[in-house]
Chain A
Amino acid sequence: MTPHHRPAREVAIVAFAQSHHRRRTDDLSEVEMVMPVLHDVLRQTGLKASDIGFTCSGSSDYLAGRAFSFTMALDGVGAWPPISESHVETDGAWALYEAWVKLLTGEADTALVYSYGKSSPGSVRDVLTRQLDPYYLAPLWPDSVALAALQAQALVDAGHTDENALAAIAERSRTDAAANPHAQLPGTRPQGEYVVRPLRTGDCPPIGDGVAAVVLAAGDLARELCERPAWIRGMDHRIEAHSLGVRDLTDSPSTRLAAERAGAFDLPHGLKGMGGAPAVDTAELHAPFTSQEVVLAKALGLDASVRINPSGGALAANPVMAAGLIRLGEAAARIHRGASDRALAHATSGPCLQQNLVAVLEGDPRA
């Protein structure tokens, strides 16, 4: 984002919380799963639910097979007396975007953003086929792994990666996840058999249930609530044509455009933007499949100087609808604790990276 696009109001992620991600949570309803994470994120800021100016959530009824499931989860917020609230039927990263816009308008000074996915009641590979074009694709039931595998083969054919390189991404992610107490798959494991060739078990995300939440605050309030706020310097999201056959599956122009509009290719805040290589030290990329990290890293021009997915990424925990919000939360948390000064966070939705959101987060310069 060039300086004349800079938001009029400073908004930051001031707190982040997430659940331990697990294969099943049969003992918990959705609200029972969400509530402890909401309490955790509010406790970090000292705010009560009644102090929050705007609440926005992300989830999908198709995961649990229940209509309007988000209204039940809303009980965990404390929605009476009436609150200012909204919901997106997609990953919570897009709920965060809506909350960010709300704060930029000045209509609220704080926002609670949360999202959750309970994939365990159904078969998420089959469930995700229902988001496809209903005329030409959905009747064939091509599952999420199959579509990612088509993209992976296109990358292999184009010479952008091979099975060993993909295995190395899996290995790095899950090794990093060993330091993440929330991860579902911490520590390295065998690549396993082909699920849909060329993707093996190790190239695919775990299926699981989980929750994430962040608190946003504007201006000086953010400084009061958090020692080192993660300022959102820019955020943008873009979508590509629905039909897979009209896209170049080895590239992600929507990610690149979103990153450009979010200011990822500018130099850090306060300096004159020069363009060129992304001036970030960390990138939390929402790449549920190893091959998708290859596409994203290429689209964003990330080189070896950028730490990719120190949390372990979606290969270590992929609660559908929360995994994108977790990328923003993990990037922010790294700034909060001083491990990063400028981070890029990315979220995706839809088959083969159809929709992409990019945010640039910055900490204040350190003395």
Chain B
Amino acid sequence: MTVTPPPEILHAPLVVEFPFTRSLGPVQSAFLTGLRERTVLGVRTDAGEVLVPPVEYDPATAAELRELVEVGATGTVTTWAWNPEPRAGQPLTTPFAWVLVRLDGADTALLHALDAPGPEAVRTGLRVRIRWAAERSGAITDIACFEPYESGTAAETVPHTGEFDDPVTGIVAPARLDYTYSPGRAQTRYLHALAERRTVGERCPSCAKVYVPPRGACPTCGVATTDQVEVGPRGTVTTYCIVNIKAKNLDIEVPYVYAHIALDGAGLALHGRIAGIPYDEVRMGLRVEPVWSEDGRYPDHYRPTGEPDADYDTYKELL
């Protein structure tokens, strides 16, 4: 047991990026395909209201909605907010107004951006029109933004079949969020120790179990694990599986063995890859030791030590 001052907090960039592929129903498909063709469609409710953007079910009654109508590409601002510092992904890169716009012929408002020289040029009631994107694919971003456009109100709506050639049936919505990961007290200590080629667990002060890697708490006792204990470096394979499918961006040839390894002195097994032995010769009880990565910051994999296999009774509680 050692008591050391808290080490420097670690930080690392963490990017979560995902292309969400979504299918469209008949109403959303018609609306987004329409935008590609510079046509704005709404849907009429049983009460006679025209919803733009359209939805498949009435927000008030939950009735299925299918009656499409074409509305104007001009409209009126119902509320607005001046955005002095556009953020990544937003429609314009220069300061702009967020607006809710009720298009002519619609009873509800659509959210988008308004290109205007400054907040003094924007007001509720301002007449605006759509500025279409030069290249359109069937997405809400086919509307590049709105722009001020003084004109009268044309309230007429025209029935529309919603049918277009080559309809858009799905969208891909890419999302990217940037984080800065910091692992907290227990894992920071663990990672610092790994960089010194030591494996450090933490002992629960209540039940004395040693957790590797430590997560800061004993899930049995619900208390902080504060006492550091050096474990390993050798350990025992408690169970394993053979991986036959190559993961994307992973530079390891298949098949390989992924195992649970109980390091000597640890109260539970950790995950690791086994190498230095044919995959079909890995077995429960195999004694292994870590092989450090080239930069020496973590065990790249574990290899056999050459010792006799561990007796089942010595690790059966750690399966």
Contact = CB atoms under 8 A, between A and B. Distances in A.
Contacts of A154: 78-79, 124
B220 A80 contact: yes
Interface in A100-142: 120-123, 125-127, 129-130, 134-142
B185 A32 contact: yes
Given A65-B179, A77-B222, A157 B79 contact: yes
B122 to A, nearest CB: 9
A64 B177 CA distance: 10
A72 B223 CA distance: 13
A135 B22 contact: yes
Interface in B69-124: 78-84, 87-91, 98, 100, 102, 108-113, 119, 124
B140 A139 contact: yes
Contacts, number: 191
A153 B219 contact: no
Interface stretch (A3-11, A193-201, A210-218, A223-231): A193-201
B109 A245 contact: yes
A143 interface: yes
A150 B108 contact: no
B58 to A, nearest CB: 10
Interface stretch (B6-14, B227-235, B246-254, B287-295): B6-14
B38 to A, nearest CB: 17
A84 interface: no
Interface stretch (B154-162, B210-218, B306-314): B210-218
Nearest to B10: A26
Contacts of B24: 135
B99 to A, nearest CB: 8
A135 B90 contact: no
Interface in A261-288: none
Interface residues of B, number: 67
A26 B22 CA distance: 36
Given A79-B219, A142-B111, A245-B111, A35 B81 contact: no
Given A242-B59, A246-B59, 6 more contacts: A28-B185, A62-B177, A78-B219, A146-B83, A150-B80, A150-B81
23 contacts: A26-B9, A27-B6, A28-B185, A29-B186, A32-B184, A49-B222, A75-B219, A78-B220, A79-B219, A79-B222, A121-B182, A126-B88, A139-B140, A140-B112, A140-B113, A142-B98, A149-B82, A153-B81, A194-B82, A196-B98, A244-B111, A245-B52, A246-B109
Nearest 8 A/B pairs, CB to CB: A29-B184, A78-B222, A149-B81, A245-B109, A141-B89, A241-B59, A197-B82, A65-B179
Interface of B: 6, 9, 11, 14, 16, 20, 22, 24, 28, 32, 51-53, 55, 59-60, 78-84, 87-91, 98, 100, 102, 108-113, 119, 124, 139-141, 171, 173, 175, 177-188, 215-224
